[in-house]
Structure 1
């Protein structure tokens, strides 16, 4: 299985992005980057691409990026799927359990604005309707390259010299 189905994006490009992401995480946090994924009501497409990111040829864990089930250990809350009334509280509690600096990333068109499901009764819209979002990664679904590049952009935008409070990317209205 090719971890990045986009033929214009060779594995070496993804590997370089992953290495830059690990270095940025070290610079900002002083340790590896921990990501907590929450499915807020998706079709599963984004999760398939996220699984491809997790099992890249060289492995993100070797580059210092890990996925965790414990929100207290997470630096990034990665939301996929539309914000539904049933899962809004779970996402909010997950974010509340995370220690600063913490970032929220909405991944996929559904998490960005509700996608094709906006206007449905149980759908509140995108993740911004329930949480303050720091980064939007559009796509239906976004490719592994886009996911890694988005996380890298988030960390590089918030990188700060030691002993400074990181800047936050404010969501667009």
Structure 2
């Protein structure tokens, strides 16, 4: 039966499209605010912005129930192992948004104490610029992430891809001692 001969109101989809739709409409972010960007992340879940329409209203306090980590703010060298540990505790599939210029590239903190980009620690799916980015920008990042989730094949081995990205980032990181990050 072709699509043109289907009765009105009937939709067709393959399993990959259905899995993408279900995954993108049930993303639960982990609460992981490190600096001033965390205030903007908190405002995003206020009634004015209504992220519940995207299925993201439940921010988790435990990484074992979250599948999205929003790294909001600068990451210090002392906090880097904690960021990695939280990421490792999240179930598959999982995604990361780097919120703010400090999380993405170290921002104005170009010194030994701040990690110059959270992508040295965890694989990042969406980079969100700004200092601090507005809640509307975070909602736009959610939409970009939803687009990635919907359009990506869901039968791939994300752990292996994350390991490859991590190995490439570690090869490019000059002389930063990453104690306990790689197991």
TM normalised by structure 1 equals: 0.71
Query: Number of residues paired by the alignment?
Result: 146
Residues 83 and 130, structure 1, Cα contact 8 Å, conserved in 2: no
Structure-1 residue corresponding to 2:87: 95
Distance 1:101 1:58, change over 3 A: same
Residues 36 and 76, structure 1, Cα contact 8 Å, conserved in 2: yes
The offset of 1:129, in angstroms, is 1.8
Structure-2 residue corresponding to 1:32: 26
Structure with a larger share of its residues in strand: 1
Higher relative contact order (CA 8 A, sep 6+): 1
Residues 101 and 166, structure 1, Cα contact 8 Å, conserved in 2: no
Unaligned runs of 5+ in 2: 1-17, 170-183
Q: How does 1:21-60 map onto structure 2 within 5 Å?
A: 27-29=21-23, 32-40=26-34, 42=35, 44=36, 46-57=37-48, 59-60=50-51
TM normalised by structure 2 equals: 0.68
For 1:88 and 1:30, how far apart are their aligned partners in 2?
28
Unaligned runs of 5+ in 1: 1-23
The offset of 1:56, in angstroms, is 3.0
Structure with higher Rg: it is 2
Q: CA RMSD in A?
A: 3.1
Residues 74 and 115, structure 2, Cα contact 8 Å, conserved in 1: yes
For 1:68 and 1:79, how far apart are their aligned partners in 2?
14
